[in-house]
């Protein structure tokens, strides 16, 4: 991806920023936004971002940060590209033990509970005190805020958020005698269409299952009327009968209906197989939209996931967090940066470049997003999916709790274990871990 359009106007101001930075310290400040503070003082912030150093996404982040630095002369943000989410979380936790955290970071929305338990992040509410800022906090999609709030306080601002979508090959739909403008909308239609699309050298459907299997399974539980987690951060509902029914259907897609491969399928395998024609339909992240549309050599359709008693998909991805650095000036400056990054115009640019969810209805009202949707109508499925999206599995000790459900799903997919037994065992393990968080 070429250097994007937001980052082109830096040269003239960079020298000024460096000059100003050199004159100031990183200590206290009389104001975070440069409009009223001394020109000789600059708050210097580190911004940890979960992406590899090289590549188009890193460049997009640099462009956004540079644009912020140009317009906030008393704040200078330095992005630090830290690899994937897990690596970034580990880096932050290690740094915290050494007494040094980033000032602001993007981490998984489900890491909010672990960050809170370690007293590493601050509630956004303590900064958003004006009427306009309070209104801003209510502007995001509720499904995204379900993993951003706890006990009435907001700890994360949606930024790099995603959801699962159905990608399908319209040309293969035509060849199979299916309407390319009518993707499956129910579980029954998913199986019926999948059987018509399955043939030698091509699976009707592929859903990744080898990694964070809990996330790829979670839509089925939601669509069957019972999410695996509710509002509480210390409780899961793995052993609910509706969840077991959903897991049975999930396993039947390969074992009984034979519309997708048996065993476990890698996260990157599904889009690769889709783009090469080995799979006619896949479930994958909205964050893969841009890449798939660039790579596929056929007409790509994108739709909401098929439902059962209701539609649904978990949200995913990362939030912006303000860290507890015990430096009030830095914390205020970090909030200003977070608020700026989440503005509709900036969020629209980020969504257009990456395929991640536009974080609020206002994002979809920007001129840039309207023009993008005219050129890329497939992206409209992301906004549609937000209407039925639900909370991703997030609790205290979240990664361990997620791993327990992933293991249970994989046992059912690969071994002769019933959903009821696997989920009963998973519930017991989760309850034991979460018991220390019971009041």
> Is the pLDDT assigned to residue 33 strictly greater than 90?
no
* Alpha helices (H) in 84-157, listed in sequence order: 85-97, 112-117, 131-137, 142-145
Tokens of 50: 């979960």
Could you give phi then psi for residue 149, rounded to 5 degrees?
-130, 155
Q: CA dihedral in degrees (59, 62, 64, 67; nearest 10)?
A: -130
Please write the tens of the pLDDT for every residue from 189-228: 999 999 999 999 999 999 999 989 999 999 999 999 999 9
* Interatomic CA distance for residues 305 and 326, integer angstroms: 44
Residue 53's pLDDT band (boundaries 50, 70, 90)?
low
DSSP state of 365: G
* Alpha helices (H) in 31-84, listed in sequence order: 56-71
> Is the pLDDT assigned to residue 37 strictly greater than 70?
no
> Is the pLDDT assigned to residue 45 strictly greater than 90?
yes
pTM above 0.75, yes or no: yes
Name which residue leads in pLDDT, 179 or 25: 179
* Interatomic CA distance for residues 415 and 392, integer angstroms: 26
- The mean pLDDT value for 279-305 works out to 96
> Is the pLDDT assigned to residue 20 strictly greater than 90?
no
Please write the tens of the pLDDT for every residue from 54-77: 678 889 999 999 999 999 999 999
Residue % of the chain over a pLDDT of 90: 85
Q: At what angle do helices 419-434 and 241-255 cross, to 10 degrees?
A: 130
Which one, of 65, 80, 47, lies nearest residue 10 by Cα?
A: 65
* Residue found under tokens 């996330």: 215
Q: CA dihedral in degrees (338, 340, 345, 351; nearest 10)?
A: -20
Q: At what angle do helices 367-375 and 344-354 cross, to 10 degrees?
A: 20
Tokens of 83: 């690899």
């Amino acid at each position: 991806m070429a250097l994007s359009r937001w980052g082109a106007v830096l040269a003239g101001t960079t020298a000024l920023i460096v000059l100003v930075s050199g004159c100031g310290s990183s200590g206290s400040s009389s104001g975070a936004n440069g409009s009223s503070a001394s020109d000789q003082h600059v708050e210097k912030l580190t911004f940890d971002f979960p992406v590899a150093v090289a590549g188009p996404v890193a460049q997009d982040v640099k462009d956004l940060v540079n644009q912020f630095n140009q317009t906030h002369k008393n704040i200078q943000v330095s992005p630090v590209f830290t690899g994937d989410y897990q690596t970034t979380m580990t880096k932050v936790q290690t740094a915290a033990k050494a007494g040094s955290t980033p000032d602001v970071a993007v981490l998984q929305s489900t890491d909010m509970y672990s960050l809170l338990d370690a007293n590493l992040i601050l509630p956004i509410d303590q900064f958003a005190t004006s009427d306009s800022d309070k209104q801003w906090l209510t502007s995001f999609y509720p499904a995204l805020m379900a993993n951003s709030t706890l006990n009435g306080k907001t700890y994360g601002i949606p930024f790099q958020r995603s959801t699962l979508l159905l990608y399908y090959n319209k040309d293969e739909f035509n060849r199979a005698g299916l309407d390319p403008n009518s993707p499956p909308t129910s579980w029954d239609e998913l199986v019926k269409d999948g059987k018509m699309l399955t043939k030698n050298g091509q699976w009707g459907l592929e859903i990744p299952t080898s990694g964070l299997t809990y996330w790829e399974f979670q839509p089925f539980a939601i669509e069957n009327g019972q999410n695996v987690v509710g509002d509480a951060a210390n409780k899961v509902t793995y052993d609910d009968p509706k969840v077991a029914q959903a897991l049975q259907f999930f396993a039947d897609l390969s074992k009984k209906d034979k519309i997708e491969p048996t065993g476990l399928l890698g996260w990157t395998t599904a889009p690769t197989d889709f783009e090469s024609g080995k799979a006619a339909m896949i479930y994958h992240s909205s964050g893969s939209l841009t890449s798939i549309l660039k790579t596929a050599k056929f007409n790509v359709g994108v739709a909401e996931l098929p439902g059962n008693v209701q539609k649904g998909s978990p949200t995913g991805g990362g939030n912006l967090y303000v860290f507890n650095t015990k430096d009030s000036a830095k914390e205020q400056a970090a909030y200003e940066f977070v608020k700026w990054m989440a503005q509709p115009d900036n969020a629209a640019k980020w969504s257009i470049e990456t395929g991640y969810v536009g974080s609020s209805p206002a994002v979809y009202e920007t001129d840039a997003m309207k023009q993008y949707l005219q050129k890329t109508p497939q992206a409209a499925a992301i906004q549609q999916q937000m209407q039925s999206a639900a909370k991703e599995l997030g609790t205290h000790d979240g990664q361990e709790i997620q791993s327990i459900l992933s293991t249970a799903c994989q046992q059912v997919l690969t071994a002769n274990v019933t959903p009821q037994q696997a989920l009963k065992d998973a519930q017991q393990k989760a309850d034991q871990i979460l018991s220390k968080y019971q009041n």
